[in-house]
Amino acid sequence: MSAEALRAYGRSMTTTDQARAVLEDPRFLVPEAPAGGAAPGTMRWLRQSVARFGNGAVHRRRRALAEAELARLDETVLRDRARELARTTAPDLAPYVPVAVLAEALGARGEIVPAVRAVAAAYQPGASDTAMARADDGVATLMAGLPEGEPETVANLIGLLVQTCDATAALIVNARRQGGSSAEEATALALRHDPPVRATRRTAARGAVLDGCPVAEGTEVPVDLTGGLAFGHGIRPCPGSRCALALAHGVLDVLLEESR
């Protein structure tokens, strides 16, 4: 299958079958961060150290670090704290309450939401030099505010905060727009009709096959997530989906109540 065909295929994908197949197949890899040459505590170092930009055994090891941190969190406590904080937060900033609550639960000190937002803005490759400079400052702030630990562990705590940031904020905004009689109904509607993450991509490794057709090594494959896959699927589902929903529900409990 040619790169051109794959691009057209990705644009025209209307069911989740192909997306699920790609996300379940270890021969479709996430694009990795360039290796080497990054000073510790910088944005480039962060990309090289988080599970998000790793594959295979590296990804599994880093993902386990994040999962261990998430496993000790109580979703009811997260929702209650998000609800409490949302009541004292301006409505336009309420979508970022989940980041503040998660940071608090992970042991962070100080006001770190602006730093997380700066890092999130440059997390994916292609950010401007200005955004990268702000992100470098953000990474330094987060490393100083989070509990001390092995560098890879701290990097993946930052990764949890960054991946919570914009996606959960967008889920709250979209769910509020959808309405509903409860936070649960609002988020379910948003995830079905207006998900916060609509697409991702994978790169074909040697031997990759899609719909019975060989895919050339190195071909970028677009993956449509609008068919109920906003939290991912297969090898790399979002490890914090339950926590993200608890945090979003806590904020929406307040926002929906205030809009009635």
Task: Write 192-195 long-range contacts (CB < 8 A, 24+).
Answer: 192/228, 195/171, 195/225, 195/226, 195/230
For 77-107, the DSSP string reads HHHHHHHHHHTTS-TTTGGGHHHHHHHHHTT
Tell me if the domain spanning 3-259 has CATH number 1.10.630.10.
yes
pLDDT in tens, the chain (260 residues): 555 555 555 444 446 789 999 999 999 999 998 888 888 899 999 999 999 999 999 999 999 999 999 999 999 999 999 999 999 999 999 999 999 999 999 999 999 999 999 999 999 988 999 999 999 999 999 999 999 999 999 999 999 999 999 999 999 999 999 988 899 999 999 999 999 999 999 999 999 999 888 999 999 999 999 988 999 999 999 999 999 999 999 999 999 998 76
Q: Interior CA angle at 153 toward 150 and 158, to 5°?
A: 125
User: Which SS3 state, helix, strand or coil, does residue 222 take?
Assistant: strand
202 phi/psi in degrees, rounded to 5: -135, 160
CA dihedral 201, 204, 210, 216 (to 10 degrees): 130
